[in-house]
């Protein structure tokens, strides 16, 4: 287990980038006193994410496949990287769709609860507005 700072140094990324990756991929920290630690499994997962991201960035910027004349040389890895990039984006889109569906369900549940509360408040208001019978007439009818 490593602290946030040590993990960021280990991965050669900034702490805000680490926090963003952790949030995007739902990686939790484990409190240890005042420090927050990241498990070894999560660190390995972050390493793979960072290496994937750096591969994609180097591919998109063309730093891997430049010839001496500055013209990009086509390799067989292009389609693999593009396929991988598209698959990652599809996974992100699906994740966002799932989050949106959960938010919509929560909204619907809250709306139903609010409607129930309004109905109860209306019936309570009607009960309070009814004229009260005098005490003795309530006892003896």
Q: In a structure prediction context, what are the per-residue pLDDT tens digits for the chain, which is 141 residues long?
A: 999 999 999 998 999 999 998 988 889 999 998 999 999 999 999 988 888 777 766 666 665 444 444 444 455 677 888 888 899 999 999 999 999 999 999 999 999 999 999 999 998 888 787 777 777 877 786
Output the pLDDT for position 90. 93
Report how far apart, in Å, the C-alpha atoms of 121 and of each of 94, 116, 118, 124, 128 are: 40, 9, 5, 5, 11
Output the pLDDT for position 9. 92
User: Is the CB of residue 35 less than 8 Å from the CB of residue 3?
Assistant: yes
User: Is the CB of residue 75 less than 8 Å from the CB of residue 65?
Assistant: yes
| 45 burial type by CB count under 10 A (0-12 exposed, 13-18 middle, 19+ buried) | middle
Output the pLDDT for position 121. 94
Output the pLDDT for position 68. 44
* CA 14 – CA 30 distance, rounded (Å): 20
User: Is the CB of residue 72 less than 8 Å from the CB of residue 62?
Assistant: yes
């Amino acid at each position: 287990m490593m602290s946030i700072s040590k993990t960021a140094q280990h991965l050669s990324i900034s702490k805000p980038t680490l926090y963003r990756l952790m949030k995007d991929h739902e990686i939790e920290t484990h409190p240890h006193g005042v420090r927050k630690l990241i498990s070894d499994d999560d660190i390995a997962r972050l390493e793979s994410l960072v290496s994937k991201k750096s591969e994609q960035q180097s591919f998109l910027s063309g730093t891997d496949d430049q010839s001496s004349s500055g013209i990009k040389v086509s390799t067989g890895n292009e389609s693999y990287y593009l396929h991988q990039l598209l698959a990652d984006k599809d996974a992100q889109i699906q994740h966002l769709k799932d989050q949106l569906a959960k938010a919509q369900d929560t909204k619907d549940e809250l709306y139903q609860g609010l409607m129930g509360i309004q109905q109860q408040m209306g019936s309570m208001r009607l009960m309070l507005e009814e004229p009260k019978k005098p005490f003795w007439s309530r006892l003896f009818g």
